Structure formats: C-alpha cells, structure tokens
Chains A and B, each alone.
Chain A
Amino acid sequence: MADSTDAGEEALRRLMATYQPSFLAPNPALSETARAASRHLFSALRPFCPKSPLDQLLVDGFDAEQIWQQIDLQSQPLLSSLRRQVKHFAKNPKEISQLKVVPLGKKVEKEQEEWMEESDGFDEELEDDEEGEEKGEEEEGMEIEDEAEEQGGESGSEEESEEEDEEENGEDGEAGGGGIEDKFLKIDELTKYLEKEEENFENAEKDMRGKKDDEEDTEEEDDDDDDEEEEESDEDAEFGFADEDEEAEDMENARYEDFFGAKKGKYSKQKKAQLRQDSESSDDEDDDMEFKKQNKGTASTHQKQLEKIQSKIEQMEKANLEPKTWTMQGEVTAAKRPKNSALEVDLDFEHNVRPAPVITEEVTASIEDMIKKRITEGHFNDVQRAPKLPSKAPREVKELDDNKSKQGLAEIYEQEYVQKEDPTSAPLSFKDEQKQQASVLFKKLGLKLDALAHFSFAPKPVIEDMSVQINVPALAMEEIAPVAVSDAAMLAPEEVFDGKGDIKEETELTKEERKRRRANKKRKFKAAAVKKTGKKVQEVHCLTK
C-alpha cells in the first residue's frame, strides 16, 4: 500500500512538474501517470465518503469518460459534507483550533463497526497509511476542502473537469491565506457565509423532511468536534444521500420553475439554494462578486438607488413593449375599447362654451335693481319718432339791418316821394333781391328737371332781365357788346321810330298833300313863335303902316 501511495504521490508530483502545454497533445505516459495520480487521490478520499460504492478507482482499461463518472460518484456527496463542515467552522472559528486531524482509521473504524466489522486489518492499514500520510492527506483534505470552498460547484463535472484545474486549485489552496486572501476575500468570512447558506438550505430541507432532520440538527449542536465530525459524517451520509438524490433530481428536472419560481413556497427556496450553489461554483471572480454583494448589502445607498432606478427602467421598458391601453391611444371609437370602459375612466373635457347661466335669486334681484334704477332715472331705450320734414314753408323772418343807413335823410324822403309819384321806379329792397336770386336759381333748376322729365323739347325759359338799352349806333358799342349783336336787336323798332297811321315819304305825296303838310308845318311854327315872342309881331305890323 505504501508503494502504491508513494507511486501515487510520485505520479502527482510528476504531473505537477510537467510543462503545462504538453497536456494538450495526447501522451500515453502522461495519461498513465494521470491515472495513477487520480487513483491515489480517490483512495485517499475514500475514507471520507462512507457510502461510496467504489472502494478504488478502477482505472485500467477504462476510458476517460468512465473514470470521470467514478470520480463524480465519489465527489458529489463529499462536496456537500465538506461544505457543511466549512460552514460550521465559519460560525465557530474556535473549533478550528480545536480541530485535530482525526486519524482516518478511527473514523472509519466507527463507521465500519456499523457496516464492515471484518476488515480490521484494513483499518489498521488505513491507520498506518493515514498516520504516514496524515499531513499530506490533511493537506489534501484541506486542499480539497479549500477547493470545495472556492469552487463549490456541486455539479461535480465542473469541479473535476480537469485534473489541471484540480491541481492548480490545489496549488492555490496550498498558497492558502497568502495568495487568495486580500482585503476583500477572507477565507473566514467566506466560510461563515457558506455555513450560513448551508444552514438555510438545511432549514429548507428540514421543512421538507421533518423530524429526522431535527434530531440530527440537535445532535449536531450538542456534540464535540470529533463527535460532530462523526455525526456530521453521519449526517453527511444521509444528507449526502439526500443531497445527492435531490441534486440529481434537480439537475434532471431543472425546469422553468426552478429559475423563475412559478410555484410559490416549495421551489423558491430550492431555487435560491441552487442559485447560491451556482454562484458558488464559479471562479475567483464570482467569489469577489459575492463579497461585493456582501458589501452592497451592508453599505452604499448609491448602489441601492441605482438598483431601484434600474428596476424601474426595466419595468418601463417592459410596459413600452406592450400595446398601449385604450386611454393612451389617440382617437378611440366605441368598437376599439372594451364595453362600458368609458364609464370607469374619469373623463375630463375642456368646454369651449360658457355654460348657460343658472337663474338664481341673486341674478333676478340684480336685474330688478337695475330696472328700478332705470325707472327712477326715467332712462329708457324706447323707439324715438323720427322728426317729420316741415310741409309749410318757414315763416319769413324779417331781417333788420343794424348798420347805419348809408343814405341821408333827405335822400330817403326823395325816394319816398318818387315812389309815390311813380310806383314802378322803386329801388329793389334787400329781400326782393334775395327773392329774385332765388327765383332765378329755381328757374334754372326747373329747366333742368323739365329737360330730364320730358321727352319733347322744351325751350329755354325767358328770364326777364331789366336793363337799359342805349340807342347808340353799333360802332359806338362795339367794344362792349359782342359782335354778334347788331343794333337791330338792341333796339326795338318802335324805339327807333314811333309814329302812327299810314306813313308816306315825300316822293310818294301828291301836290295837295304836300301843300297840306307845309300849311300844317307853318301853322305849328307860328303857334310856337307866338308863344315865345307874344305881342311883338303885331306891334311891328302897326308901326309900319
């Protein structure tokens, strides 16, 4: 056995020492060493998982897939148990110091007392091996524990997907506190956190399981480290089994509900646990994320606000993708909205018309006050009669001339005397002049109107115009009167000659008529001369005799 273990260790060492890229090319020697190393590890871990069906990793003649499956079988329950342990230690850090490296043989002894009482030698061998390999295995155990912590993936394929990863992680684990731990990542905190999570998970399972769990929990709490470990291992066994089953089931039946929790209660917590486990099964980055989340939970409000805003944004974006409600659409007819939906919505209109006035008593009172006021004033808006045009001519207003008379008193008397004597030669008065002007104007107007109204010709009316015509030959008047006017028109015939009867010229007269005219002439002349001289002519006659 020691040989085998040595060989195994050597194989491990050799693997670690090889140049990494050489793993990429298929190499039979390398595969042999890898198989040997994995077998060694398997058997090293074998005592920790009591229920594992395989005692030894069957490597010869098996291909990679089959080897993986075997490793899987062993590691899955182991991981959960380790996780629980780590949690526990995270909660009670003092116990870590109290932790003794339990000789695996003892542990196994106890277990095998229950199951396999025959194989004592085996136990002893194991004991020896374990004592020799204590440290290494411790380390490995620790390594593996660390692995479990850091990687945590219960989907074991990830865990042992590559031996390289394992070993690298083992290396990392060895580096331990130095390499990984910085101000963010603290293994202790991590372990505590993991313990908590485990407990929550257990509590969930408690609800499902019932009394058994309670018993075991209480057992767990009561016992010491060693016993705890034992019972933990017992628990582990059962839980591992349960977990294994459950997890296997969960992996097979991973459904929508697991991720999105359609059914409340049962699956939501399982989902949460899975998510937690999923989150744990990632690289260092995720661990950092976890720690960051922890920090969020405790500290910055800005991050909280950001989260809130982001969730709001998501909600709004979701709402925008859906079709709008009918109230938000533009013109909605009755056909486009659900029945009677307009009754439920509080519709508000802007009325563009002033509403009809409600006739209250105040309004009536105000109107009546106004009416009373108008009555007292006597101010009404009645229809006024139009002023009729006067049918009678206005009475003559006698205008008195205030100015001083231009004529002297003697002249006034003279005019009056002349008026008496000869009524025709009266000077025109002021009023008469106006009247004359008016009549002249009216005659002109009348002429025009007649011309408009009649079809037949109407001659110009004679406007009597009194003016003195001088019997002057045309030559003298030439300048004044127009050429067209001859003296014949200016003077009427009787103005030229006024005579009566049959007028004869001298050539037309007979002898007797001539004599008669001469006799008349002489007689007239004598009469006129007698008038002038009187008696003088008779006296002259007497003296001469």
Chain B
Amino acid sequence: MLRRNIRMRREYLYRKSLEGKERLLYEKKRKIREALQEGKPIPTELRNEEAALRREIDLEDENTAVPRSHIDDEYAHAAEKDPKILLTTSRDPSAPLQQFVKELSFVFPNAQRMNRGGQVISEIIESCRAHDYTDVVLVHEHRGVPDGLIVSHLPYGPTAYFGLLNVVTRHEIKDRKAIGTMPEAYPHLIFDNFSTKLGERTANILKYLFPVPKPDTKRIVTFSNQSDYVSFRHHIYEKHGGPKSIELKEIGPRFELRLYQIKLGTVDQAEAQIEWVIRPYMNTSKKRKFLSD
C-alpha cells in the first residue's frame, strides 16, 4: 500500500511534468486543424511534422483531443464517483464551533463529522485515504467565531485555504420552529462570477464537494463572488403560481469565504508547491481582482 501510493504519486508528478510537452503538441494540432478548416496554408514551422500530426488528428476523438492536465487528473474520478467528505475542527473546539461544524455536515451531502481529539493531521489524512474518502474539510475558529476553512482533496489533490467572515449560523436564529429541519436532498449548485482561471479552479474545488443532483431538487447552494469575497447561501425554493413566481427561503448557515492560498498537495504536505497565494501588501493588490475580471 505504501509503495503503491509512492508509485502513484510519482506517476502523478511525472505526468504533471509532461504537461508542457503535451500542451505544445496540442497547440500544433490545433493550428493544423484550423488551417485545414479555413483552407489556409499550413504554417511553415509545422511542415515537417505535418503528416504525422494529421494522422493523429484523424484518429483522435473528443476524449483525446483535449490536452489533459494534472488538474484533470486530480478530479478525474470525481465525476464518476460520489464524493465522501470528512469534517473536523482544530483542536479543542468551542461549543459554537462544534455547532457550526454540525450544520456544515448537513450542508454537504455524504459528509461525516469527526471529533478532533488529539489526532495529528497526517494521521487523519492517511486514515482517510485508506477509507477512500475524497475530501477532508477542517474548520478553525477565533473565540467561538468560525474564521477558517480548509478544503483538501484527498488523493494528493489540491488544498484550498479560505478565511470565513460574517458567519451567521442556524443556531443563532432563535426561532427554531420557523426554520424547520434541514433537507438532505442533493442540491443544485450555482457559481456566480468566477471568470478567471483561478476562479474556475476555486469553483471546481468547491463544486466537487457535492454529488450529482437529481434535476428536480428544490435545494440550492450558491457561491457568489463579489470582488474576491465569495458569499455562501443555502436556499429552498418553491414555485407557487406557474409563471415564474419563485419564493426563496433561506436555510442553513451564511458566510463569506475569502480564498488566501491554494496548494498542490494535501494538508499534511507542508512543503507542497503553492499554486496561488494572496498578496495583501502589494501596492496594486487593492486594484486587482483574482477570482473575477
């Protein structure tokens, strides 16, 4: 098992290193395809390789035409398998944090909550890998207020670090009967205003926490991005009158997420490569937006 893991990790890293060459090849094929379609002469730099590339173009189908990157490898099986999530906290959680984590376990379908106790992170990750979990989610706090969320995809997948702001939990709403119980159907997802590459990446990381829903569910989970602050909302909708009358009822906790780091390894790999990290002290960071345009 250990050796298998090591081998698979090496494979993954090797394939990541090949990405550059694959991308080049893909670009060349694309150019040839375009030239052929438009009827223009093939660019001169590709003359030598043109015949071989053309054969390849003829033989490839939709799956092989798109160049695969390590990102696709990370979520290669995510589309086929339903996600399995483990939720934990930092050590010695306060009561409000425990309540928040309990709520989150209802938000993510197929999520398991676990007491942290005195476990080390590497132990947690290993046991999750052994039990075929796809994601681990850690929640941190500051004096009872949840302030950090770490989403780690398991087979050596990416880890996204978020800061939480403006957290409103269900427990804070006093009127219990008005809220009712939390539905457990698989929800529809809405991702709004994630237009850059980094935004797409973040959206993917959050998207693959959820399974494939049935098309007629009434439960909606929304991640809406506004100037690098992602708002999480959880609604149930009802259509009363037929024509376009929709009533939204908010359930579940509501918070703002602020991405500050993406690492290309799991949580326990401290020396993993950093894909993106926030730069708050750069002079132009005030003017730039990273998740949208």
Residues of A within 8 A of B (CB): 351-354, 356-357, 359, 363, 367-368, 370-372, 374-376, 380-386, 388
11 pairs, CB–CB < 8 Å, chain A vs chain B: A356-B166, A357-B256, A359-B231, A363-B226, A370-B190, A371-B190, A372-B246, A372-B248, A381-B190, A383-B207, A385-B79
The CA-CA distance from A353 to B285 in the complex, in Å, is: 7
Chain A residues whose CB sits within 8 angstroms of the CB of B213 once the complex forms = 382
Determine if A371 and B248 form an interchain contact, defined as CB atoms under 8 angstroms apart: yes
Given A367-B233, A371-B222, does the pair A353, B286 have CB atoms closer than 8 Å?
yes
Chain B residue contacts of A375, Cβ below 8 A: 220, 237, 246
- How far does the alpha carbon of A18 sit from the alpha carbon of B267 in the complex, in Å? 115
Q: Which of B146-178 contact A (CB under 8 A)?
A: 165-166
**Contacting residue for B166 out of A352, A359, A368, A381, CB 8 A:** A359
Could you tell me the distance between the alpha carbons of A468 and B285 in the complex, rounded to whole angstroms?
82
Inter-subunit contact B286/A367 (CB<8 Å): no
Question: Are A354 and B286 also in contact (CB < 8 A) when A370-B224, A381-B189 are?
Answer: yes
Chain B 223-254 interface residues, beta-carbon cutoff 8 Å to A: 224, 226-229, 231, 233, 235, 237, 244, 246, 248, 254
Q: Classify the interface of chain A: helix, strand, loop or mixed.
A: loop
Give bound CA distance, A370 to B188, whole Å: 14
Contact B226 A357, beta carbon cutoff 8 Å? yes
The answer to whether A383 touches B211, judged by C-beta atoms less than 8 angstroms apart, is yes
CB of A371 within 8 A of CB of B235, answer yes
B64 contacts which chain A residues (CB < 8 A)? none
Interface string of B246-288 (1 = CB under 8 A from A): 1010000010101000000000000000000000111101100
Interface magnitude class on chain B? 35 or more
Is B79's CB under 8 angstroms from A383's CB? yes
Residues of B near A353 (CB, < 8 A) are: 280, 285-286
Q: Is the CB of B212 within 8 A of A383?
A: yes
B210 neighbours in A (Cβ, 8 Å): 382-383
Q: How far apart sit A385 and B235, CA to CA, in the bound complex (Å)?
A: 24
Contacts known (A371-B248, A382-B189); A356 close to B212, Cβ less than 8 A: no
Which of B's residues lie within 8 Å of A, judged by CB? 78-80, 165-166, 188-192, 203, 207-208, 210-213, 220, 222, 224, 226-229, 231, 233, 235, 237, 244, 246, 248, 254, 256, 258, 280-283, 285-286
- Return the 6 tightest CB-CB contacts between A and B, nearest first: A386-B79, A381-B191, A380-B188, A372-B246, A353-B280, A356-B165
Q: Smallest distance from the beta carbon of A349 to chain B beta carbons, Å? A: 12
Contact: A352 with B256, CB < 8 Å? no
- Contact: A385 with B212, CB < 8 Å? yes
Cα(A383)–Cα(B190), bound, Å:
11
Contact assessment for A368 and B248 in the assembled complex, using a CB-CB cutoff below 8 Å: yes
Return chain A residues, CB-CB under 8 Å to B229.
356-357
B189 A384 Cβ-Cβ under 8 A: no
**Which A residues lie within 8 Å of B246 (CB)?**
372, 375-376
**A381 CB to closest chain B CB, in angstroms?**
4
CB of A384 to closest CB in B, whole Å: 6
Q: Decide: A382 and B212 in contact? CB cutoff 8 A.
A: yes
* Interface contact A356-B256, CB-CB below 8 Å: yes
CB distance from B69 to the nearest CB of A (A): 16
Contact A382–B188 (Cβ < 8 Å) = yes
With A353-B286, A357-B229, A380-B188 given, is the CB distance from A367 to B224 under 8 Å? yes
With A359-B166, A370-B192, A372-B246 known to touch, is A352 a contact of B224 (CB < 8 Å)? no
Instruction: For A367, give its contact among B208, B227, B231 (CB under 8 Å).
Output: B231
Q: B211, A367: Cβ atoms under 8 Å? A: no
| Residues in chain B near residue A372, CB distance under 8 A | 237, 246, 248
Nearest opposing residue in chain A for B210, CB measure: A383
Closest to B237 in A: A375
Which of B78, B220, B228 is within 8 Å of A371, CB to CB? B220
B214 and chain A: residue at smallest CB distance? A382
- Given A352-B286, A353-B286, A371-B222, A383:B237 Cβ within 8 A: no
Task: Beyond the given A354-B227, A374-B190, A380-B188, please list 12 additional residue pairs across the A-B interface where CB-CB is below 8 A.
Answer: A353-B285, A354-B228, A356-B256, A357-B166, A357-B227, A367-B222, A371-B233, A375-B237, A383-B207, A385-B79, A385-B80, A386-B80
Residues of A within 8 A of B280 (CB): 352-353
Q: Are A352 and B188 in contact (CB under 8 A)?
A: no
Nearest A residue to B244 via CB reads A376
Once A357-B227, A357-B256, A370-B192 are accepted as A-B contacts, the answer to whether A383 and B80 lie under 8 Å apart by CB is no
* Residues on the A chain within 8 Å of B192, using CB: 370, 374
Complex CA gap A379/B80 in Å reads: 22
Contacts of B227 in A (CB 8 A): 354, 357
Cα–Cα distance between A380 and B189 once the two chains are bound (Å)? 6
Find A359's partner among B244, B256, B282, B286 (CB 8 Å cutoff).
B256
Residues of B within 8 A of A383 (CB): 78-79, 189, 207-208, 210-212
Cα A351 to Cα B235 in complex, Å, equals 35
| A357-B232 Cα distance, complex, nearest whole Å | 13
**Nearest Cβ in chain A — how far from B107, in angstroms?**
16
CA distance A318 to B98 in the complex (A): 66
- Bound Cα distance from A391 to B245, whole angstroms: 45
Q: Which residues of B contact A382 (CB under 8 A)?
A: 188-189, 207, 210, 212-213
Measured in the bound complex, the distance between the Cα atoms of B233 and A370 in whole Å is 12
A354 — which chain B residues lie within 8 A by C-beta? 227-228, 286
With a CB–CB cut-off of 8 A, which chain B residues contact A380?
A: 188-190
Instruction: Name the B residues within 8 Å of A352 (CB-CB).
Output: 280-283, 285-286
Q: Which residues of A contact B79 (CB under 8 A)?
A: 383-386
Which residues of A are found within 8 Å of B166, using beta-carbon distances?
Answer: 356-357, 359
Contacts of A386 in B (CB 8 A): 79-80
Cβ–Cβ < 8 Å partners of A376 in chain B = 244, 246
The CA-CA distance from A383 to B79 in the complex, in Å, is 7
Cβ–Cβ < 8 Å partners of A367 in chain B? 222, 224, 231, 233
B190, B207, B227, B282: most-surrounded residue (chain A CB, <10 A):
B190
Contact (Cβ within 8 A) B203 A381: yes
Task: Output the nearest chain B residue to A380 by Cβ-Cβ distance.
Answer: B188
With the chains together, A177 CA to B65 CA distance in Å? 117
A298 to chain B, nearest CB (A): 59
B212 surroundings in chain A (CB, below 8 A)? 382-385
B226 nearest CB neighbor, chain A only: A357
Kindly state the separation between the CA atoms of A383 and B285 in the bound complex, as whole angstroms.
Answer: 32
